[in-house]
Structure 1
């Protein structure tokens, strides 16, 4: 049975079209539609319910030691309030999940994991913990809202003080107060735009949602669903678990080498990644140059040779043309390479382009 986030009633009241996603009932879009929601985030601001995401506390004298072994990134030089992205690998070098770790203080870390993997990730942490450490799943007590877009910070400043706003990207203020409500404000997001993610007690998340919508009216803030969240992350070339990575795909293959510190003494999956040697396939961007829209799990050809498969694909509202990401044999991954994607028995022409497809101007 699907769960409901604390904002379920608010979505229904606002005309959200509810679908099951990651074990939750969430709006795929509102009456405005995906294209308008997407464009609002690129040009003004959008508000997303991401309360389905999972949150885990990692505490104890050996908290850092555990993170170093569980995750591929290096967490030794973080300052309080800093966030760091990392894949979490299995023994074969495949990806269990990708997540974000925040350092609250020494021996205390706040971890955010993907909704559909929450229980799996938490169990993985428990199964591989060692020494003086406690992992606690606090997901049920937390709500999460993402305020994203070029006007996001303008809206936020109406309801909070500068002390509650992180100064840098991938940093958070843990003792923030927004509209009189205690919360965590994090300068992160999954849209390729400026903005924040706000973590708050699940009992107060609906009040926060309404306050932000009310205060963002002048700036054109609208609620946005899963559909726009997906098209936005795709335009920004952000990988999604179960698409660009999974238990069989290594973080290096999906282009996450920046978050895999092979110089680290050890982490789960390091040996397997080393033994794989040189990459034989990697993630690329495809721009459709023929007629048609490419989706996930479609075969990619160069001439008669099948060279890989697509992992995500859609028509991008802001760019105005269809794109896809694909996992291809390394020999065919050069920018400008012409390929064809088989879509329901018909081949659609595309070319390999640089990632990200879209990057906001600072």
Structure 2
């Protein structure tokens, strides 16, 4: 079992000449249960609703795990040596220069990667890293990096094309997973 959407998923490995046959079988058997194909856009919306990072957006060689809110994935205390450890320890001491924030947009327009984030008085403080309409919430959602000086604020403006639209900080996930975790006994 695997997944990048917050929901249960499965990866199937088979010979490529059998893929079309399996695809048809899955669609035929699953259709009465609501199974339908979807593309990368749907998967990306689901991963954003969970707040999962995407390489090139919330993860890159320029974005540290501390900036992306992935502190839990870096074992600074228990792993003695790894590339970048000293820089991360220093960053932890002074605080990351930017922090990833989850935003709900108070408008129908979608904040896309690269759009400017500003304080309510229009001082630029960050950039959107991912954004989409959330079908589950019925409003646009976004992730964005905000300067540490402004990270304490709960309301921002996002420049969508030529207009400033209001946005509010929220907690992740935007939409909680419906997967029931099995309790180990």
What TM bracket, shorter-length normalisation?
0.7 to 0.9
Q: Give 1:305's match in structure 2, choosing from 107, 118, 123.
A: 123
Determine the structure 1 residue equivalent to 2:140: 322
Q: Give 1:357's match in structure 2, choosing from 162, 174, 181.
A: 174
Q: Structure 1: how far apart are the matches of 2:16 and 2:90?
A: 45
Q: Give 1:289's match in structure 2, choosing from 98, 103, 106.
A: 106
Q: Structure 2: how far apart are the matches of 1:219 and 1:333?
A: 44
- How far is 1:196 from its partner? 1.9
Sort the Cα spacing of 1:266 and 1:207 in 2 relative to 1 into closer, same or farther, 3 A.
Answer: farther
- How far is 1:332 from its partner? 2.6
Which runs of 5 or more structure 2 residues have no equivalent in the other structure? 181-185
Determine the structure 2 residue equivalent to 1:202: 16
Determine the structure 1 residue equivalent to 2:90: 275
Cα distance per residue 1:296-349 (max 9 Å; x no partner) = 101100123211100011111121111110011123334x71100111121111
State the superposition RMSD in angstroms.
Answer: 1.7
Sort the Cα spacing of 1:260 and 1:204 in 2 relative to 1 into closer, same or farther, 3 A.
Answer: farther
TM-score normalised by the chain length of structure 1? 0.46
Cα distance per residue 1:240-299 (max 9 Å; x no partner) = 101112111012211112211112022222222223332221111010114522111011
Which runs of 5 or more structure 1 residues have no equivalent in the other structure? 1-186
Q: Structure 2: how far apart are the matches of 1:291 and 1:215?
A: 37
Higher relative CO (Cα under 8 Å, sequence separation at least 6) belongs to 2
Rg larger in 1 or in 2? Answer: 1
Q: Structure 2: how far apart are the matches of 1:265 and 1:285?
A: 32
TM-score normalised by the chain length of structure 2? 0.86
Confirm or deny: 8 A CA contact 1:341 1:349 kept in the other structure: yes
The count of aligned residue pairs is: 175
Moved over 4 A (4+): none
